[in-house]
Amino acid sequence: MRLLSLVLGFAAIVVNLLLALILLGIGVLASSDGTGAHLDLLPIDPESAPILLVLAGVLGIVSVVLALKSGRLQRCFLVVWCLVVSLVLLSAAFRPGYRFDGEDHFRAGIWIFLGSLALLFGAFLRWKHAQAKG
């Protein structure tokens, strides 16, 4: 169980750091050209999307940096971040305006959601391990 906790915890940190950097990059690029960003996955206004993406990227980076600390409270933020990411993916799939482009697109969405749940589990194991130590 310790090895699983280490592997999933490391994966949660790396993947969420990459996700946060991508969100930050998209937000900065979208705000630099001034046209906004239209994202089918998120039900947000294209004009306010760059600000929200930059904010989400910064919050994701902060949660990952805090997860590298040894305290229970610091690692809790990564669990919350992973939960929010999973809930956004789940809610996007059930939004009335969102449509899958066929069976392969649907299958990819399922795999991405299951991956987000695995990362949530890894962040939880990392938080629980810090709780047991501390």
Whole-angstrom distance, CA of residue 102 vs CA of residue 97: 15
Closest C-alpha to 24, from 44, 64, 63, 51: 51
Domain hosting 126: range is 2-133
What pLDDT, on a 0 to 100 scale, did the predictor assign at position 15? 94
Residues 6+ apart with CB under 8 A from 41: 88, 89, 92, 98
Whole-angstrom distance, CA of residue 5 vs CA of residue 59: 24
Query: Tell me, what DSSP letter sits at residue 42?
Result: S
Whole-angstrom distance, CA of residue 56 vs CA of residue 81: 9
What pLDDT, on a 0 to 100 scale, did the predictor assign at position 130? 67
Q: How many domains does the chain divide into?
A: 1
Tens of pLDDT along the chain (134 residues)? Answer: 678 888 888 899 999 999 999 999 988 988 887 777 777 667 777 778 888 999 999 999 999 999 888 777 888 899 999 999 999 888 887 877 777 788 898 898 889 999 999 999 998 988 887 655 54
Please provide the size of the chain in residues: 134
